[in-house]
Amino acid sequence: MAKKNSYYYYTLVGLMVTLLIMVEGTRAGLINLCNMNEDDLSTCKPAVTKPNPVDPPPPACCEVLKKADLSCLCSYKESPMLPALGIDPDLAMGLPPKCNLPLPQSCQGS
């Protein structure tokens, strides 16, 4: 039982350190997520933030998504990283079709 508890403890500590690095990196303007920098993320943020997301997404957001690595973004759909950045994962996964971009296989069916 002690091994199981220490596993969870170290997992939690690792997650907290990762989130802290992400938040500090965002403050410093150093974030680069799947070929999207902080400005790119800000362009799409109104469309992926609850409670009142902008729909349809702004054309500038769709232009940003054309450059983004969508398969990479899909890998974050279950991660705490997007919510830590103020992004709703479900809304984010719905952006490509709204921008007439193909939804990668990794985003489908969850």
Over the stretch 29-56, which tens digit does the pLDDT of each residue have? Answer: 556 778 888 888 889 999 999 999 999 9
Amino acid identity of residue 38, one-letter, is E
**Spatial distance between the Cα atoms of 81 and 87, rounded to a whole number of angstroms:** 9
Residue 20 in domain = no
Residue 2 in domain = no
Residue 94 in domain = yes
**Spatial distance between the Cα atoms of 65 and 6, rounded to a whole number of angstroms:** 40
Report the pLDDT value the prediction gives residue 63, as an integer from 0 to 100. 94
Residue 104: closest CA among 71, 76, 75: 71
pLDDT band of 28, cuts 50, 70, 90: very low
Measured at the CA of 57, the angle between CA 87 and CA 53, to 5 degrees, comes to 50
Give residues with Cβ within 8 angstroms of 110, minimum separation 6: 77, 78
Residue 89 in domain = yes
By residue range, what is the domain housing residue 62? 38-107
Residue 27 in domain = no
CATH number, residue 85 = 1.10.110.10
Residue 67 in domain = yes
Is 0.85 surpassed by the pTM of this model? no
How many other C-beta atoms are found inside a 10 Å radius of the C-beta of residue 91?
19
Residue 12 in domain = no
The domain total for the chain is 1
